[in-house]
Amino acid sequence: MKSQLIRTLFTGLIAAVLMLATAPAQAQRSDYLARLAAYEAAYGPYERQAVAYWDAVAAKRRIRNAKHRSGERILLEDYVLTQPPVYTGPPRPVDPDAPPRPPVEREEMPTIADFIEAAAEQFGFVPDRPKTESEFMRAYARAAAAAGLTRDQIVGIYVFETGGNGTHDTQAGVSATRTRPISPAVGYNQLLSTISAATLHSHGPQLLSALQQKSKMLSGAERQAMNRKIEALRRMIAHARTVPYQWAALDKLAKTTRGGWGLHAIVLDIDLGPLVQVQKLVTSVQFARTRRLKRPLTAAELELMNLTGDGNGIDMVLMPQAMRERVPTANFFQRNGYERNPVARRTGVVANLISDMDAKMAKGAQQPGARELAAAFGP
């Protein structure tokens, strides 16, 4: 009888201990479920509004594109005139019972060294690096002036893209305190690797012609070296043309293949780098002319086209000031791009975006690099 009583007491004690042990876990679970319900109640309506908003932005963009093709006037009603919805509710809570997530494996972004190594391996191309930064600046200024670009345009874009002290091999995300790049963009106007591939694809003959003209003025070992560069360039052009002249195909080639990495090394070359960077800007100027813009682009307007793409950029360039003050910047971005762009969100409307760019360019023009680039254009 006594043993049975002891067993009963012991069993009850175990049950009590178990109840005490599980109580905090149950409370934690109940708290998580309550916070999840609050999050879903707030986020659901927001997400529906956001999807409807960005669908409307896309639909308005299609209307404007059709009007551009037919030469019709773009009206204020062809834009979404409200700002994107902003989520202000509670954050999504972390499930305390969820298994730990495995670390996200991300491919390393190629660096300057990777582009150079791939170019030598794939095409036998080794870029001739400038002896000094001033040498590259002078070559860049000569190429820009010959193409009809102005000192103000070139210096403004240089300031906006590099802060006013960038070098010819400045890569996006790399700084004195950071060695890991965030993008393959390189140079004074931060040229993407996809643009390098596209330029070789579409303007390869002009690049070859430029090198051939230089070769004629050389002799001996220098001429032999230039001719080897010309042959390497032929191989690079041929490789760029292994895919159609379509952004998706060129983007995949440039970013996911060793050959594509190697193509990007042209931006580092003293002979080719200035030409390729200038060509990107000239393409935007020519696009603006096809849209019947007769006046010169300001530095900020040319940078808009460089930054957001020619189609979106020209939309803002052609917009009257009164419309610029009312049209949200969101009209010229995809949702993900807009949400990652603090400047577009902060400035709100096109007029403020352009004003912000003008101010940044004016301030950065006093930096030593910007002043040296301006001087490279001569008096």
Rounded CA separation 91/142 (Å): 53
Using DSSP's 3-state secondary structure scheme, residue 178 falls into: strand
Residues 45 and 177 in one domain: no
Number of domains in the chain: 2
What's the one-letter identity of residue 367?
A: Q
Residues 128 and 180 in one domain: yes
pLDDT of residue 371: 96
pLDDT of residue 69: 85
Average pLDDT of 329-341? 92
**Does residue 299 register a pLDDT over 80?**
yes
**Does residue 5 register a pLDDT over 60?**
no
**Does residue 308 register a pLDDT over 90?**
no
**Does residue 364 register a pLDDT over 90?**
yes
Boundary of a domain, candidates 85, 102, 127:
85
More confident residue, 341 or 80: 80
pLDDT of residue 309: 87
Residues 81 and 116 in one domain: no
Residues 58 and 155 in one domain: no
pLDDT tens digits, 48-59:
999 999 999 999
What's the one-letter identity of residue 274?
A: P
Joined together, the tokens standing for residue 79 give: 């834009």
pLDDT of residue 221: 95
The whole domain housing 50 covers 35-85
pLDDT of residue 23: 59
Confidence label for 291 from pLDDT (cuts 50, 70 and 90):
confident
Residues 81 and 117 in one domain: no
Per cent of the chain over pLDDT 70 is 92
**Does residue 10 register a pLDDT over 70?**
no
**Does residue 20 register a pLDDT over 80?**
no
Residues 71 and 136 in one domain: no
**Does residue 13 register a pLDDT over 70?**
no
Confidence label for 105 from pLDDT (cuts 50, 70 and 90):
low
**Does residue 19 register a pLDDT over 60?**
no
Query: Which domain CATH number covers 118?
Result: 1.10.530.10
Mean pLDDT of the chain: 91
Residues 171 and 52 in one domain: no
DSSP string, 108-177: PPP-HHHHHHHHHHHH-------SSHHHHHHHHHHHHHHTT--HHHHHHHHHHHHTT---TT-BTT-BTT
pLDDT tens digits, 203-257:
999 999 999 999 999 999 999 999 999 999 999 999 999 999 999 999 999 999 9
Residues 145 and 291 in one domain: yes
- Whether 167 maps to a domain, the answer reads yes
pTM of the model: 0.82
**Does residue 263 register a pLDDT over 90?**
yes
Residues 320 and 359 in one domain: yes
DSSP lists the bridge partners of residue 186 as: 171, 191
pLDDT of residue 81: 97
Angle at 262 between CA 256 and CA 265, to 5 degrees: 125
- Whether 252 maps to a domain, the answer reads no
Q: Are 370 and 349 in contact (CB under 8 A)?
A: no
Q: Are 160 and 360 in contact (CB under 8 A)?
A: yes
| Torsion, CA 97, CA 101, CA 102, CA 108, rounded to 10 | -170
- Whether 116 maps to a domain, the answer reads yes
pLDDT of residue 259: 96
- Whether 234 maps to a domain, the answer reads no
DSSP string, 3-35: HHHHHHHHHHHHHHHHHHHHHHHHHHHHHHHHH
pLDDT of residue 14: 58
Average pLDDT of 147-158? 96
**Does residue 76 register a pLDDT over 60?**
yes
Rounded CA separation 261/146 (Å): 29
- Whether 176 maps to a domain, the answer reads yes
Average pLDDT of 358-377? 95
Helix, strand and coil in the chain, % to nearest 5: 65, 0, 30
Confidence label for 307 from pLDDT (cuts 50, 70 and 90):
confident
Residues 80 and 123 in one domain: no
- Whether 321 maps to a domain, the answer reads yes
Average pLDDT of 288-310? 90
